Amino acid sequence: MPYLFTSESVSEGHPDKVADQISDNLVDHFLAFDPSSKVACETLVTTGQVVLAGEVKSSTYLDVQQLARDVIRRIGYTKSEYMFEANSCGVLSAIHEQSPDINQGVERAEAEDQGAGDQGMMFGYATDETDNYMPLALDLSHRILRELAAIRKEGKKMKYLRPDSKSQVTIEYDDNHQPIRIDSIVVSTQHDEFDKDKKMLERIREDVIKIVIPRVRKGLKKSLRSLFTDGITYHVNPTGKFVIGGPHGDTGLTGRKIIVDTYGGKGAHGGGAFSGKDPSKVDRSAAYATRHIAKNLVAAGVAGEMLVQVSYAIGVAKPTNIYVNTNGSAKVDLSDAQIAEKVMELFDMRPYAIEKRLKLRNPIYSDTAAYGHMGREPETKKLTFRDGSGKTKTVKVETFTWEKLDYVKKVKTAFGL
């Protein structure tokens, strides 16, 4: 029987995402000047105020206030009427040194024996329903908001847009779990104040349907474009006017959008946030590693979809378990438990090995902090950072290394494909 599945996304101007981006900007700057830095930084944003808190062990000094303002400015909070503005907001730092009790469980005499920065379980997921091996509803939700942000920053159309926005897409699937149509799309976007609210709301609705959605469709392969039919139900700013938004409308916190960050409710999530953490925290690094595993195995043809779980004990290098669930989609004559055994042979899941394999001790995290940590395009780029004394450093990095299909050949060989 056909069924509906829904995922949501939030924009870079959403208060929780503002917090994530500030936290990850600090992580990147610490790693740029001291790759061995240990960072766990949380951010709170509210009306006219930013609060930074957390634990750091690093040899570098940063002007964290300026780094927070840089992020806020880049997102687009640059006008006083937003009640949260880059130059005028207060920034309070309560960052202190990392607990030596935690650090002693992570650092070892031999680097490869590095222990996990915390206990917990992490999940990675992949499905063949999209080219980037992501769930379709989430992928479309992200695409809508990326286009909305691009239009806002271009400044040529929809000039009333403000930074805060949300989207939601509901997909209908058939009995074989294949998407057959888009049932509904929800878009809520912050906008400027207007004299005639009803007329303006009608204009926003029309602009979303006639400007944003065609740009989203254009970026999709032909088979997915056909899902955009005249039968879609659109809910555009369904509560009415949306002038008060961002941190003024709702307090934002680091790590409060972990489902948006991952798979939109498909698969599973271990509960740990990513942003604000250096890669010794397996909440982040192992979540990336399990995504890397799931994506390469699905791309190699082992299964149509795959969920991979790994778990750790704090201070212990070797995982306590690795679990695989193909949800009945396996294309090889092996049980899920047997697939998991081969995964353990192919991928070294000790924290240090993950860091080395995915090049995680690099300043690559700011790009992850909005529009999802998974399903993104790997890229090699040069980035420039500034420390607290004004010294700059340019670093060449590879972003989203966990999205690379660099293990497909190895997987095919291991599974006889």
For 79-89, write each residue's pLDDT tens digit. 999 999 999 99
Q: Are 212 and 300 contained in the same domain?
A: no
Binding-site residues for Mg(2+) sit at 16
**Residue 393 included in any domain:** yes
Q: Are 169 and 210 contained in the same domain?
A: yes
Q: Are 158 and 226 contained in the same domain?
A: yes
Distances in whole angstroms, Cα of residue 222 to Cα of each of 162, 225, 377: 32, 5, 20
pLDDT at residue 106, rounded to an integer: 59
Q: Are 209 and 332 contained in the same domain?
A: no
Last residue of a domain, one of 224, 246, 268: 246
**Residue 370 included in any domain:** yes
Q: What is the CATH number of the domain that holds 298?
A: 3.30.300.10
How far is it, in rounded angstroms, from Cα 317 to Cα 152?
A: 46
Q: Which residues pair with 279 in a beta bridge?
A: none
Q: Are 173 and 296 contained in the same domain?
A: no
Binding-site residues for ATP sit at 14, 164-166, 241-242, 250, 256-257, 273, 277
Helical ranges in 226-277 per DSSP H:
246-249, 258-261
**Residue 27 included in any domain:** no
Residue-number span of the structural domain to which 341 is assigned: 120-128+281-415
Return the amino acid letter for 395: V
Binding-site residues for L-methionine sit at 55, 98, 250, 281
Last residue of a domain, one of 246, 272, 299: 246
Mean per-residue pLDDT, 349-361 = 96
Q: What is the mean pLDDT of the chain?
A: 94
Could you give the 3-state DSSP secondary structure of residue 95?
strand
Q: Are 333 and 400 contained in the same domain?
A: yes
Mean per-residue pLDDT, 280-291 = 96
Residue 110 pLDDT exceeds 90? no
Count of domains observed in the chain? 2
Residue 112 pLDDT exceeds 70? no
Q: Are 208 and 285 contained in the same domain?
A: no
Q: What are phi and psi of 94, to 5 degrees?
A: -125, 35
**Residue 109 included in any domain:** no
Q: Whole-prediction pTM value?
A: 0.95
Q: Residues 276, 225: contact at Cβ < 8 Å? A: no
Q: Which residues pair with 41 in a beta bridge?
A: 54
Mean per-residue pLDDT, 361-379 = 97
User: What tokens does 95 get?
Assistant: 């960052």
Strands 179-191, 233-236: pairing kind: parallel
Residue 109 pLDDT exceeds 80? no
Question: Which helix (H) or strand (E) segment is 396 a member of?
Answer: strand 392-399
Mean per-residue pLDDT, 374-388 = 96
CA triple 36-70-401, angle to 5 deg: 45
**Residue 368 included in any domain:** yes
Mean per-residue pLDDT, 242-247 = 93
Q: Are 300 and 200 contained in the same domain?
A: no
Binding-site residues sit at 14, 16, 42, 55, 98, 164-166, 241-242, 250, 256-257, 273, 277, 281
Q: How confident is the model at residue 344 (pLDDT cuts 50, 70, 90)?
A: very high
Q: Are 410 and 356 contained in the same domain?
A: yes
Residue 105 pLDDT exceeds 60? no
**Residue 95 included in any domain:** no
Could you give the 3-state DSSP secondary structure of residue 183?
strand
Q: Residues 186, 177: contact at Cβ < 8 Å? A: no
**Residue 191 included in any domain:** yes
Q: Are 327 and 357 contained in the same domain?
A: yes
List, for residues 43-58, the tens digit of each pLDDT value. Answer: 999 999 999 999 999 9
Q: Residues 257, 14: contact at Cβ < 8 Å? A: yes
How far is it, in rounded angstroms, from Cα 124 to Cα 266?
A: 10
pLDDT at residue 195, rounded to an integer: 78
How far is it, in rounded angstroms, from Cα 157 to Cα 79?
A: 19
Q: Are 325 and 211 contained in the same domain?
A: no
